Chain A
């Protein structure tokens, strides 16, 4: 297992290096400059200022300087927030994004699995129909529409929760609900389909024949086996929530990281583009690694050490 982990971490770093390199050169193809009032500066004035930032050097030199900095933990300073180190910009804004993402995952996935399982157990009854309708709604209503509806009714009309802003648990409720809808629906749908399959399989028949209780069969044999495909989608779902919360962050005025990423691309804020890309890549790769490890825990057949033998 340790050997496997080491190998995976090595590949992770290699992938990261490739991501940094490709992003750096692609980013330099963007037209324009990071100057905020570039439309008011003549080319000569722009050159003078860009020279101060070392942006008139050849791109390969800039690349080497950047990579050298990253190895020393220096991600540069932002252009949008002048003189603000990018590492500080990200660390001070990633908290709300992570918190919302985590809450939304828990609120989405746990009830999603339960509802999906319930639908499968009570297949073709009113319970199944109701849960299916709910999960289809969850998939078809875009999160930003749900966000606006929640904001209007629960915030503006009923005064149950704050309309927007950030500053305590109450402020996280509406954005979490809006974000949780899609992972909830996805996991519910997947769990139901898998569970229906599993419940029809021979070994469930056998377990029942052995005289196990109904819920014992469901918990020990059916649910556990249905979770493997569900775990597969949870990884990408988690990353989707972290990176895709930009619209939700905008609607609820949350001081998160999603919006900074888009804005940094639009304003050619090179150090921020790079740093956020690195953060997102690491998040995705770590989630995928965790998913692989969790597979082994759920299903002994795909335990990693066994495979390497």
Chain B
């Protein structure tokens, strides 16, 4: 008996189209004659090579000019991309994607072979792709990426022109999100070979299979344009004619351009947010990024001293920090896994795994626990150092934490703000007492955060160790990987353990407050990876 899980995308999108049509024309705003969206980035576009993209600028562009097997949209919901449908075998290891007939912007067909080629190219050691690790569950990834096996042994095969069969080494329920990310895009072998080292270093040195195609980019300039791709299979649904990008690095300049209507959106900084937060244009975009305090538990004071870790966490008033100090739309976290990252039904993971004491503020309890912690260590007072980035937010964080921890008797806290690179090196070397770290999810599943704090994980810089946690994560990635309910419970219990033991103290979850002109509609935002999808956006009449 073979169990098949088929997602009938065709039926769903058909039904939703009908639903839209029945809403009537009255509520739909009239389309403006100029369907151009004016978008802003704060950094240059560094590459258009899907294997080499690591940043949000190229990620955002690639997500709109190319299309993988599936597409991620508003609220991290998946919709069909090049794959019309897909099936997962009962053991969760074989994924079969049925591809539609679609074309590259140069007119050649997009086939299963393009996926096989693109994926192999990304994991080949010579490519030196920094996101190759996302392939960790694809069969033979390790061996191929280390150069021990040939790329052709990677677990991906074309079956005819329109079927792609992927073999995983172990079940991975969230693989569906990965195939929607840049590292899993198809690549046209002829084009890659034709341009060689120059591939994807300028707009005309690549081909595109998504809703838009890139133009006006010479590889280093500060402006570029996404033009509607008329060869895209769903081109009739794309209303925008163009998305004009401009790089603006100065927040004040950006605000002026937004006010004068030269650009359609503005990501505000803290100061601007305070003035603009009541504007009808304001939208706070939840980000899947968390900033947290790690305790060095390799040896020394914090090792096996849960009271010390709890005391410090309880002494920090995160509500006051996010509202009065940062005041940029960031908010108090519920736990380590950010709110809005993963859901089961209507339940958010952060709510399901909420442990109140993990991020609460209670100075009385903090002082009592701190006293116990000092007794346990046999000292009457202690000097600790807090390490953080020398960014504006990093400095605000250490200054605030220092003022809060001042209220713990017998603690002398010194602080060090260093450049990002130095902070990373010192974190990796364990050269800190406490460090403010940050993490952003690659894909919308709790594991992209939870996997960090297993005992042997390289990112577990404080070396917090807990058997129950390790077992829960092992089960989620192993025996329960193919059972969504048990896997969810594993991850929830792991998160609860992490918070109850205060392996880490989450400080704030970041948000991106965005001003958006009222005539821009249909933008799709999601908190991980590329973040934006323009394929359904349109401009309403605003004269």
**Do A and B share a complex?**
yes
A residues neighboring B (CB under 8 Å): 30-33, 35-45, 48-49, 52-53, 80-84, 88-89, 92-93, 148, 151-152, 155-156, 163-166, 250-255, 259, 266, 268
Closest to A254 in B: B222
Residues of B within 8 A of A255 (CB): 220-223, 247
Please tell me if the beta carbons of A48 and B125 are within 8 angstroms of each other in the complex: yes
* Interface pair A266/B146, CB less than 8 Å apart: no
Known: A84-B220, A88-B220. A250 touches B46 (CB 8 A): no
State whether A156 and B256 are in contact (beta carbons under 8 Å apart), knowing that A81-B219, A88-B219, A253-B250 are contacts in the complex. yes
For B124-161 the 0/1 string (1 means CB < 8 A from A) is: 01101011110000000000011000000000000000
Q: B256 — which chain A residues lie within 8 A by C-beta?
A: 151-152, 155-156, 163-164
In the complex with contacts A81-B46, A253-B250, A266-B419, A39-B424 CB distance below 8 A: yes
Q: Are A41 and B421 in contact (CB under 8 A)?
A: no
Give Cα A259–Cα B428 distance, bound, in whole angstroms. 29
Q: Nearest chain A CB to B365's CB is how many angstroms away?
A: 33
Find out whether the CB atom of B47 lies under 8 angstroms from the CB atom of A82.
yes
> In the complex the two chains form, is A31's CB within 8 Å of B421's CB?
yes
- Contact status B126-A80, CB under 8 Å: no
Q: Is the CB of B55 within 8 A of A36?
A: yes
* A30 close to B421 (CB less than 8 A): yes
Task: Tell me, yes or no, whether B16 is within 8 Å of chain A by CB.
Answer: no
| Most chain A CB within a 10 A radius of its CB, from B128, B250, B422 | B250
With CB as the reference atom, state the residue of chain A lying closest to B419: A266
Say whether A36 contacts B421, CB under 8 Å: no
Partner of A37, one of B130, B200, B428: B130
Complex Cα distance A44/B457, Å? 12
Q: Check B421 against A32 for contact (C-beta < 8 Å).
A: yes
Q: Is A43 touching B248 in the complex (CB atoms < 8 A)?
A: no
Q: How many residues of B contact A (CB 8 A)?
A: 51
Chain B residue with Cβ nearest A92: B220
Distance from A42 Cβ to chain B, minimum over Cβ atoms (Å): 4
Binds A, one of B88-96, B109-117, B235-243, B257-265: B257-265
B200-213: contact bitstring with A at CB < 8 Å (1 yes, 0 no)? 11000000000000
Provide the residues of chain A in CB contact with B201, threshold 8 Å: 81-84
Measured between C-beta atoms, what is the minimum distance from A288 to chain B in Å? Answer: 29
CB contacts (< 8 Å) of A33 on chain B: these are: 421
The docked-state distance in angstroms from the alpha carbon of A213 to that of B131 is 77
Instruction: Please name 21 pairs of A and B residues whose Cβ atoms are closer than 8 Å in the assembled complex, sorted by A.
Output: A37-B130, A41-B133, A43-B428, A48-B125, A48-B145, A53-B128, A80-B46, A81-B46, A82-B46, A82-B52, A83-B49, A83-B52, A92-B219, A151-B253, A156-B256, A156-B260, A163-B256, A164-B256, A253-B246, A253-B249, A253-B250
The answer to whether A148 and B252 have CB atoms under 8 Å apart is yes
Contacts of B262 in A (CB 8 A): 163
A165/B425 in contact, CB under 8 A: no
Are B421 and A268 in contact (CB-based, < 8 A)?
Answer: yes
Establish whether residues A43 and B458, one from each chain, have CB atoms under 8 Å apart when the complex forms.
yes
With A83-B47, A156-B259 known to touch, is A32 a contact of B128 (CB < 8 Å)? no
B222 touches A48 (CB 8 A): no
In the bound complex, do residue B49 and residue A82 qualify as a contact, i.e. CB atoms below 8 Å apart? yes
| Known contacts A151-B256, A156-B259, A253-B249; A84 and B55 CB within 8 A of each other | no
Q: How far is the CA of A82 from the CA of B219 in the complex (A)?
A: 10
If A39-B438, A82-B201, A83-B52 are given as contacts, then 5 extra A-B residue pairs at C-beta distance below 8 Å, sorted by A number, are: A32-B422, A36-B55, A38-B424, A52-B126, A259-B249
- A-side contacts of B269, CB under 8 Å: none
Selected contact of B249 from candidates A31, A35, A250, CB within 8 Å: A250
Question: Are A251 and B250 in contact (CB-based, < 8 A)?
Answer: yes
Question: Which residues of the other chain, B, contact A44 by a CB distance below 8 angstroms?
Answer: 458
**Chain B: minimal CB distance from A158 (Å):** 12
Query: Does the CB pair A45–B421 fall under 8 Å?
Result: no
- Contact across chains for A166 and B218 when beta carbons are under 8 A apart: no
B250 touches A92 (CB 8 A): no
Query: Count the A-B residue pairs with Cβ separation under 8 angstroms: how many?
Result: 130
Q: Which residues of B contact A52 (CB under 8 A)?
A: 125-126, 128
Q: How far is the CA of A246 from the CA of B145 in the complex (A)?
A: 40
Instruction: Name the CB-closest residue of B to A165.
Output: B246
Quick one: given A32-B424, A148-B252, are A89 and B52 in contact (CB under 8 Å)? Answer: no
Q: Is B5 an interface residue (CB 8 A)?
A: no
Q: Is the CB of A253 within 8 A of B247?
A: yes
Residues of A within 8 A of B126 (CB): 52
Whether A31 contacts B425 by the Cβ 8 Å rule is: yes
User: CA A148 – CA B133 in complex, angstroms?
Assistant: 44
Contact B219–A84 (Cβ < 8 Å): yes
Find residues 378-425 in chain B having any chain A CB closer than 8 Å to their own CB.
Answer: 419-422, 424-425
- From A38, A45, A250, B250 is in contact (CB under 8 Å) with A250
Which residues from B are CB-within-8-Å of A250? Answer: 249-250, 253
Residues of B31-54 contacting chain A, CB below 8 A: 44, 46-47, 49, 52, 54
Pick from A32, A164, A266: contact of B257, CB under 8 Å: A164
Cβ of B4 to closest chain A Cβ, rounded Å: 35
Task: Tell me, yes or no, whether B521 is within 8 Å of chain A by CB.
Answer: no
**Is A92 a contact of B218 with CB atoms below 8 Å?**
yes
Contacts of B19 in A (CB 8 A): none
Chain A residue, CB-CB nearest to B248? A253
Residues of chain A lying within 8 A (CB to CB) of residue B218: 92
- Which residues of A sit under 8 angstroms from B259, Cβ to Cβ? 156
The interface residues of chain A lying within 8 Å CB-to-CB of B133 are: 40-41, 45
Specify which chain B residues have a CB less than 8 angstroms from the CB of A268 in the assembled complex: 421
Known contacts A253-B253, A255-B221: A83-B425 contact under CB 8 Å = no
**Chain A residue contacts of B442, Cβ below 8 A:** 40
B53 CB to nearest A CB, Å = 8
Q: Which partner residue on chain A sits nearest B422 by CB separation? A: A31
Annotate B423-461 by CB proximity to A: 1 below 8 A, 0 otherwise: 011001000000000110010000000000000001100
Q: Is B356 positioned at the interface, with any CB of A under 8 Å from its CB? A: no
Question: Is B17 at the interface (CB under 8 A from chain A)?
Answer: no
Q: Which residue of B lies closest to A77 (CB)?
A: B197
B101 at the interface (CB under 8 A from A): no
Is B198 on the interface with A (CB-CB < 8 A)?
Answer: yes
Interface residues of B in 527-543 (CB under 8 A from A): none
Tell me the residues in window 450-501 of chain B with beta carbons closer than 8 Å to chain A beta carbons: 458-459
Q: Which residue of A lies closest to B439 (CB)?
A: A39
Shortest CB distance A249–B (Å): 8
Q: Which chain A residue shows the least CB distance to B58?
A: A82
CA gap between A52 and B130 in the complex, in Å:
12
Residues B222 and A37 in contact, CB atoms below 8 Å apart = no
- Which chain B residue has the least Cβ–Cβ distance from A166? B222
Residue of B nearest to A249 (CB): B249
Smallest Cβ-Cβ distance to B126: which chain A residue: A52
Chain B's closest residue to A89 (CB) is B220
In the bound complex, do residue A251 and residue B253 qualify as a contact, i.e. CB atoms below 8 Å apart? yes
On whether the beta carbons of A83 and B248 are closer than 8 Å, the reply is no
In the complex, the answer to whether A32 meets B130 with C-beta atoms within 8 Å is no
Contacts of B128 in A (CB 8 A): 48-49, 52-53
Q: How far is the CA of A293 from the CA of B400 in the complex (A)?
A: 58
Are B252 and A251 closer than 8 Å at their CB atoms?
yes
- How near does chain A come to B215, taking the closest CB pair, in angstroms? 16
Min CB gap A276→B, angstroms: 13
* Bound-state Cα–Cα, A113 to B110, Å: 66
A37, A53, A252: the one within 8 Å of B54 (CB): A37
User: Smallest Cβ distance from B219 to chain A, in angstroms?
Assistant: 5
Nearest 10 CB-CB pairings of A with B: A32-B421, A42-B458, A52-B128, A255-B222, A36-B54, A82-B47, A82-B52, A31-B425, A250-B249, A49-B128
Which chain A residue shows the least CB distance to B440?
A40
Q: Which residue of A lies closest to B54 (CB)?
A: A36
